[in-house]
Structure 1
Amino acid sequence: MASALGDIAALRLFAFDRVLSHDAATQTIVLLGSFPAEDGSNTAIVRIERAALPVDEPTTLLESAVADVRLIESNDIYTWLLGWLAPSAARPDVKINIICPATDVHIRKYTAQKYLIVHETPALYERIVKPYIDAFPASRTKWVQDILDGRSEADKVLHRDAAYVLLPDMKWDLVTLGALYLVAIAASPALRSLRDLARAHLPMLRSIRREARRVVAERWGLERGALRMFVHYQPSYYQFHVHIVHVEYQGLLGMTVGQAHLLDDVISLLELSPEDAPSIFAHMTLTYGLGDQHPLYTPLRAAQPEVDGPADD
């Protein structure tokens, strides 16, 4: 289905249902609807975001990129204008991501949510979270396996070895350097989240850090320290992966405290873990924000009295 949605005529067949979420800061809107299919229609999620302005050619912004303006107000040295950009094949106005057919899980993920900070002890992980992860069908991460097996996005791979593959994330437009976004995906299906990491994974994690730095230096001239590398918990999918973004990249909720763990810190904690034994991450109580649309929200919220204990003095 996705390959059939690559032109404007196909996009205009989208039947809108409702807005799932919108963010004025990131200029993003997520729509729920459907596209026609041979057997009726397929539920679809369409995420539209403003594309970045061409900072590599700033002189073109006022010379040719802005086609027209309208005065809003002027007061002393201050002037406010509305502006319209000229059509340009080299400068897209928006980036569009489509999930079709979208499942109820996708819809819940992209729906605006209220968040709660929860504490996940090792006991709660074993009782609530691990069974949830174990129940994930393989079809949910087929797209990941296609990347690992070289059946999809092979031409975009930046580094591949037996332990992981490094490539641009779909959130990056592949052009705007300040919004650079890569992902390193572990090859082992047994390595699903932060909880599964052990000292034995240190060579892989160090390689991800080293190769990411090498690739961005060779391809884009970025110096050491120009990358922010982190791991999500809870992740959006349970095949261990590392997010790698430009240090100047802003506006990503997943970089906030309560979900993101810096790769450098993860490596340091594993170095402190005992040899041939469960790592610190297997013994830690992990604290993170969880949205009310997440399937784990209700059971973990109900279990919090077990964690909190008596009220603080």
Structure 2
Amino acid sequence: MEENQTMVTEFILLGFCLGTRIHQVLFGLFLLCFTFTLLGNGVILGLIYLEFRLHTPMYFFLANLALVDIAYACNTVPQTLVNLLDPDKPISFAGCIIQTYLFMAFAVTECLLLVVMSHDRYVAICYPLHYTVIMNWRVCVILALAFWIFSFLLALVHLVLILRLPFCGPHEINHFFCETLSVLKLACADITLNKIIIFTASVFILVGPLCFVLVSYTRILMAILRIQSKGGSRKAFSTCSSHLCVLGLYFGSAIIMYVAPKSQHPKTEQKIPFLFYSFFSPMLNPLIYSLRNTEVKGALRRALGKETHSQLLM
């Protein structure tokens, strides 16, 4: 029986199946989002690297977030753009599996990073006098290395569980990229173990950290309300509210995808959370987290001022 099975060597991404004209509109929109993602996060990385005043734990984690967003977008968006222009163009089995692995790794990395960043803000606002002791550089580097290594190891577990499965057809993935659950549906074997591991990991990575984040920001909010200075409380509240927007977008989309019960809506509607997760979140993160920040805007003005001055001298 197994000898008569033909193993799949490539997949077809069905994408959105909305017609050529709408695909062209989506191509332009997604390309614009991708460009802003690369530019926004690239500017953040450059400013943090060049500006000595931004060499603090907060911006160290923001640099990691920008790096994750760039890598995340580069992993999923180019293939989606190609698929919008040529829906029949296949993706190789190896390329699809690599995309699945990197998608999981970067998603977990960003989740853990957002949790660490919320803890950083909690310490900065609630324990300002002890901030430099608690969030020293040694702790920050260890945390960064820990969540990067853990994320790729956890994704490796999912990868091994996927590779043990035979794929003998069909070869059409009902998604715009090689999303884990969509790939598993094409396996010619029982995927119960894979689903259990994914659900367990999702609860551990999403629900647990989300509870931790909510507790942290509840305490932050209480500390903000006790601030006597209106300017200080307004600045702290603005920073935390922007962070909560990112957290709500990220965790909300992820929980809908992997933890919440599957809805009976059409497959196209079920892909909408992935659009926020894959396209809009990496684009909005630098705007919400960094470019609204006074110190970052000051560093950007200084950088532009230096460039303008150097051009005048030339």
TM-score, scaled relative to structure 2: 0.24
Q: Greater strand percent: which structure?
A: 1
Higher relative contact order (CA 8 A, sep 6+): 2
TM-score, scaled relative to structure 1: 0.24
Q: Greater helix percent: which structure?
A: 2
